[in-house]
């Protein structure tokens, strides 16, 4: 029996390894991740330690979880895409039993039976081989680590949101790793101790974590340091981000050709996301927004359940994610193929405002500058149309900002500094006139947003998503072209 059990596990490990063949080859390199860790260390004060935890596994319902997505900072620094892991970075070299190191990575242990159900795990040896780490351990070893956090001038980490579950059958899951860390740094004491469980209090007492002994916790600085790194894209990152943007633009191009008034918002969403998959995008960078008519006035409308878009404008804000990097591209097009006079007037205002915002996306400017450039045009033209009473009137027809960074997050981490070369931002002005607005009814239900992804360079802005037409006349011309989906008709299903 013992022999059969060993044979079974051997076969399962072999199976899981075989299942990992024929993967994409254009992921970020281990050298990229190491360079990022070294650069972060160079920004850390002496005698400081930074602690990063992998993202939680999110439950969808019952025994079904959402597809796992790694914490962007964790991925940026490691390339590791699995849950239940901890990264420890030291500003200075450490030494233990003659071994010198400045980083430790704790990962989930290989488990043949679990891998049969949920997929291949790298394990300690896989991380060493593929991600280039030297000091790698199974997660359960962090529970009894001999790191003395009390000796550091600062222990930096992002504060916990407590939005994870504790798997009682896994002693080294994320919840267990976090609880162990909280004990090791005296976190509960730092936070006033009442939230500590009795078990944690006993462990704290055992470890000597009394009220006069706690680590110097810093939950503010790390986010700023990571923002300063992630806001400037390297050439290696730009290859992936540019591909994500171009894929997203191709989705917009294909739906312009395929659009029909009898389509549903869901069908339109599906065409975009099919194009993403066809080009190798693993996921969407955020929930897809497809809002026809008045639905487009809801900025983050994700229901996408209107059954017929008819003669509405259709606002489509979608972004492909490619190897972790997400685009953010919006187009607004007439379902009929032709803008009505009112739709075209509003659309062209947004188009002109966006052009002004893109021209302002230059080194030294900020999001306030791109916003002001577009907002000035929108206010002036809305006043000329009688939709607002003065150019200075405060209104909700343009209720959001014009720009944000993109990268590993759709609203990417940054340190709010002025634009620098190799930052990538959006420029996305909009006008939204919900039904019931205090203006002529002919404008009601018109919602327009145009959004492009802009690379800041020494020679001015570059529109990475320019392959998707923006000009109203160019959109109408493309919508007259035949679509590869025109002949794709499914049989009706009986009710």
Per-residue pLDDT tens digits for 272-317: 999 999 999 999 999 999 999 999 999 999 999 999 999 999 999 9
* 404: confidence class by pLDDT, cuts 50, 70, 90: very high
Domain boundary among 227, 261, 294: 227
Instruction: Report the C-alpha gap between 19 and 109 in whole angstroms.
Output: 18
Q: Is the pLDDT of residue 493 over 70?
A: yes
What is the secondary structure of 308-361 as a DSSP string?
--TTSEEEEEE-EEETTEE--EEEEEETTSS--HHHHHHHHHHHHHHHHHHHT-
Q: Is the pLDDT of residue 68 over 50?
A: yes
pLDDT at 189: 60
Looking at the domain assignment, is residue 492 inside a domain? no
191, 217 contact by CB (below 8 A): no
* 280-313 per-residue burial string, b: 16 or more CB within 10 A, e: under 16: ebebbbbebbbbbbbbbbeeebeebebeebeebb
The reply to whether 270 and 221 lie within a common domain is no
The sign of the CA dihedral 18, 23, 27, 32 is positive
For range 188-209, the mean pLDDT: 50
The reply to whether 160 and 242 lie within a common domain is no
Tell me how many degrees the CA angle 100-103-109 measures, rounded to the nearest 5. 110
The reply to whether 108 and 162 lie within a common domain is yes
The reply to whether 210 and 264 lie within a common domain is no
58, 66 contact by CB (below 8 A): yes
Looking at the domain assignment, is residue 489 inside a domain? no
Residue 295 DSSP label: G
pLDDT at 290: 98
Looking at the domain assignment, is residue 5 inside a domain? no
CATH at 475: 3.90.230.10
Domain boundary among 227, 253, 283: 227
Looking at the domain assignment, is residue 296 inside a domain? yes
The reply to whether 181 and 278 lie within a common domain is no
Pairing of strands 217-218, 154-156: parallel
For range 108-135, the mean pLDDT: 95
Looking at the domain assignment, is residue 37 inside a domain? yes
Task: Give how far the C-alpha of residue 361 lies from the chain's centroid of Cα atoms, to the nearest Å.
Answer: 22
Looking at the domain assignment, is residue 57 inside a domain? yes
Domain boundary among 212, 227, 242: 227
* 492: confidence class by pLDDT, cuts 50, 70, 90: confident
Looking at the structure of the chain, the number of domains it has is 2
φ and ψ at residue 375, rounded to 5 degrees: -65, -35
Torsion of CA 13, 18, 20, 21, to 10 degrees: 160
pLDDT at 203: 56
Looking at the domain assignment, is residue 279 inside a domain? yes
Tell me which residue of 77, 78, 80, 61 sits closest to 69, measured CA to CA: 80
426, 406 contact by CB (below 8 A): yes
Q: Is the pLDDT of residue 320 over 90?
A: yes
pLDDT at 196: 45
* 397: confidence class by pLDDT, cuts 50, 70, 90: very high
Catalogue the long-range contacts made by 370-376 (C-beta closer than 8 Å, 24 or more residues apart): 370/402, 370/403, 370/425, 370/427, 371/401, 371/402, 371/403, 374/402, 374/427, 374/429, 375/402, 375/429
The reply to whether 150 and 261 lie within a common domain is no
Instruction: Report the C-alpha gap between 344 and 311 in whole angstroms.
Output: 13
pLDDT, tens digit, 9 for 90 and up, residues 226-243? 999 999 999 999 999 999
pLDDT at 209: 45
The reply to whether 330 and 475 lie within a common domain is yes
The reply to whether 201 and 269 lie within a common domain is no
pTM over 0.75: yes
The reply to whether 214 and 254 lie within a common domain is no
Instruction: Report the C-alpha gap between 108 and 447 in whole angstroms.
Output: 47
Which residues span the domain enclosing 247? 232-479
The reply to whether 456 and 312 lie within a common domain is yes
What is the secondary structure of 419-476 as a DSSP string?
P-TT-EEEE--EEEE-TT-SS-GGGTTEEEE-BEEEE--TT--EETTTTS--SHHHHH
The reply to whether 320 and 389 lie within a common domain is yes
Looking at the domain assignment, is residue 401 inside a domain? yes
Torsion of CA 74, 78, 79, 81, to 10 degrees: -50
Q: Is the pLDDT of residue 194 over 70?
A: no
For 208, the token pair is 């000597």
CATH at 173: 3.40.350.10
331, 470 contact by CB (below 8 A): yes
The reply to whether 38 and 171 lie within a common domain is yes
């Amino acid at each position: 029996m013992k022999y059969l059990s060993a044979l079974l596990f051997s076969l399962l490990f072999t199976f899981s390894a075989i299942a990992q063949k024929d993967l994409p080859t254009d992921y970020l390199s281990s050298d990229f991740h190491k360079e990022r860790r070294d650069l972060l260390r160079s920004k850390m004060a002496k005698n400081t330690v930074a602690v990063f935890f992998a993202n939680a596994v999110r439950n969808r319902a019952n025994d079904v979880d959402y597809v796992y997505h790694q914490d962007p900072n964790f991925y940026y620094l490691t390339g590791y895409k699995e849950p239940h892991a901890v990264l420890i970075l030291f500003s200075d070299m450490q030494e233990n039993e003659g071994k010198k190191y400045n980083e430790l990575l704790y990962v989930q242990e290989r488990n043949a039976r679990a891998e049969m159900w949920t997929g291949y795990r790298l394990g300690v040896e896989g991380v060493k081989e593929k991600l280039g780490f030297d000091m790698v351990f199974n997660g359960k070893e962090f529970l009894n680590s001999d790191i003395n956090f009390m000796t550091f001038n600062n222990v930096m980490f992002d504060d916990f949101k407590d939005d994870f579950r504790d798997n009682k059958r896994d002693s080294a899951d994320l919840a267990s790793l976090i609880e162990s860390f909280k004990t090791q740094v005296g976190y509960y004491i730092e936070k006033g101790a009442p939230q500590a469980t009795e078990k944690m209090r006993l462990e704290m007492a055992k470890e000597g974590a009394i009220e006069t002994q706690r680590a110097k916790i810093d939950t503010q600085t790390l986010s700023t340091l990571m923002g300063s790194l992630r806001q400037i894209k390297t050439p290696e990152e730009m290859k992936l981000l540019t591909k994500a943007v171009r894929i997203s633009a191709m989705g917009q191009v294909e739906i312009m050709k395929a659009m029909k008034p009898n389509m549903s918002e869901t069908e339109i969403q599906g065409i975009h996301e099919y194009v993403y998959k066809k080009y190798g995008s693993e996921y969407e960078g955020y929930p897809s927004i497809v809002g026809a008519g008045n639905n487009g006035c809801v900025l983050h409308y994700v229901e996408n359940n209107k059954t017929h878009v008819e003669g509405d404008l259709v606002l489509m804000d979608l972004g492909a994610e490619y190897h972790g990097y997400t685009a953010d591209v919006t187009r607004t097009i007439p379902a009929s193929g032709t803008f009505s006079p009112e739709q075209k007037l509003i659309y062209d205002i947004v188009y002109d405002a966006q052009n002004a915002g893109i021209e302002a996306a230059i080194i030294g400017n900020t999001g306030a500058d791109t916003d002001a450039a577009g907002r000035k045009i929108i206010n002036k033209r809305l006043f000329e149309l009688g939709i607002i009473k003065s150019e200075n009137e405060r209104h909700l027809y343009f209720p959001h900002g014009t720009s944000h960074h993109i990268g590993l997050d759709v609203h990417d981490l940054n340190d709010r500094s002025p634009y620098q070369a190799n930052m990538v931002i959006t420029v996305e002005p909009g006008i939204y006139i919900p039904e019931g607005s205090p203006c002529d009814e002919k404008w009601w239900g018109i919602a327009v947003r145009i959004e492009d992804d802009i690379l800041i360079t020494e020679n001015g802005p570059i529109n990475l998503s320019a392959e998707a037409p923006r000009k109203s006349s160019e959109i109408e011309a493309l919508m007259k072209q035949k679509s590869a989906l025109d002949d794709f008709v499914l049989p009706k299903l009986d009710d």
